[in-house]
Structure 1
């Protein structure tokens, strides 16, 4: 079995079209088809169902695809390892983050990586809630995720990087918008805008807990995955929201952030990763993160 056979298989599996796969590999379609047939003969099974109109993976093809991907992942790790012996940190790190909630933590890390390790490529994915981030880490889709604590029991490791009390995001024409601080119970009759509970949002869970502690369950009028869009909808007068205090500096012009009186409910921000991820570049980025995003004292 040759590497080029696997390259051909992965291209056809991802494109599900021999013509597009051939163009991607800069081959004629006939040699590509011959290569796939050689691989199928080597494996003793059919990898694709072919017709004049479509190409689809067989069950055997579906089963083989993650192993083919793993071969190329191992080759990339080997490439990184050889560069590391020369003192060069090289490779790609995929990072998931929620958006506005990480505006004080994501930029210092990405800026430091670009300055310290210019050959490292950053693959950034936004609108990643805590539950989604943990799941993608477990499945190998992300190397690092910005999450809220606590998380459910998981092989994922976390490190606290920030603590911010929850406060209220209000439209500027709200009766309480000019107060220096308010009681959360004052918002019991309001409609709330939240991140989706189904996405495993730590912010949504904390906000609900804080409201219940204040004596009411929040009436949710809108769910949306993008935290900054929550602020935008507050600005538009759709409802109010509970957000961590870090967003106070990025409020839209028609919204304001008001602190809450009483015992604070803290949003604990953390980095999450898998210990058994073998990527040398991940270890370098995590070490750098300890410099630029140290764990705060509780």
Structure 2
């Protein structure tokens, strides 16, 4: 049973006139009659009673009406879905992220994509640090990853924001009321930091900043996420250098102070060149329109 046969059957059933049904389908009457007869042969029964004066549905024709309409409706839905996928209006996009930068950017991006393109499903994978995210994107396990910039040559990237390091101190710390903290003043402190083995760009940036200041930080404990890290600071386990967006995590026993030196981290969205789907391009377009730093980026 073919879709074209059902389309012809329904046109005749609606009009109860082969001539008007043929005109509605933009075809001549003989081919229409052939299509209906072909369907009747396939089903082994007559669907219409025909005479020189009238056309009427048989009992079998009446029974076929509802299923035929459902089939054509589903065919129309399938066609629309395929068209939407082709132009990037539907699809599944996986995004890896970690840290407070993503917490600030990702909700805005996801909400706008959901509002403008509800057929695109964004699947979010948390605690995927920058280097790990880049690897998963390159391997095709993720469509996007939040990464520090610049990123590995095999990937394309879109800059989203620039963050600065700040100092997180336990309340009552000797430096908690300072206007600025010089990194050299932290040389004798115990630190809490993101895990060394997880590919954290913030961890790498902190280590470089301390080395540039002439010391290696004494990391006494590690934490996989900003909230846990700042909880350790509040508990006086140690101090931490974190991105300024970590200030969104409000803890009463933590004081955030700017650094005297301007230590920056550029953050962007990375994707793999060979694996760009229409849905990925759609999300990229939304990102470019949403974040000022990305505006005008080729």
Please give the per-residue CA displacement for 1:246-293, whole angstroms capped at 9, x wherever unaligned. Answer: 22232322112100113x110111111111114211110011101112
Q: Is the 8 A contact 2:166 2:242 kept in 1?
A: yes
Distance 1:186 1:122 in 2: 43
Cα 1:234–1:111 shift into 2, 3 Å? same
Aligned-pair distance for 1:212?
Answer: 1.1
CA-atom RMSD in angstroms:
2.2
Cα 1:80–1:223 shift into 2, 3 Å? farther
Partner of 1:150: 150
Partner of 2:131: 131
Q: Is the 8 A contact 1:166 1:244 kept in 2?
A: yes
Aligned residues: 218
Give the secondary-structure state (helix, strand or coil) at the position aligned to 1:134: helix
Verify: 1:244 aligned to 2:243, yes or no: yes
For residues 1-298 of structure 1, what are the structure 2 equivalents within 5 Å?
A: 82-84=82-84, 89-151=89-151, 153-262=152-261, 264-295=262-293
Partner of 1:67: none
Give the secondary-structure state (helix, strand or coil) at the position aligned to 1:114: helix
Q: Is the 8 A contact 1:80 1:90 kept in 2?
A: no
Distance 1:226 1:95 in 2: 17
Distance 2:195 2:282 in 1: 33
Please give the per-residue CA displacement for 1:152-185, whole angstroms capped at 9, x wherever unaligned. Answer: x341112221112111011112111122211111
Larger Rg: 2
Distance 1:284 1:123 in 2: 15
Q: Which runs of 5+ in 2 are unaligned?
A: 1-77
Aligned-pair distance for 1:81?
Answer: 7.9
Q: Which runs of 5+ in 1 are unaligned?
A: 1-77
Q: What is the TM-score with the length of structure 2 in the denominator? A: 0.68
Please give the per-residue CA displacement for 1:183-210, whole angstroms capped at 9, x wherever unaligned. Answer: 1111111111111222221111111111
Q: What is the TM-score with the length of structure 1 in the denominator? A: 0.68
Q: Is the 8 A contact 1:81 1:280 kept in 2?
A: no
Distance 2:231 2:270 in 1: 28
Cα 1:259–1:87 shift into 2, 3 Å? same
Distance 1:225 1:141 in 2: 21
Q: Is the 8 A contact 2:86 2:278 kept in 1?
A: no
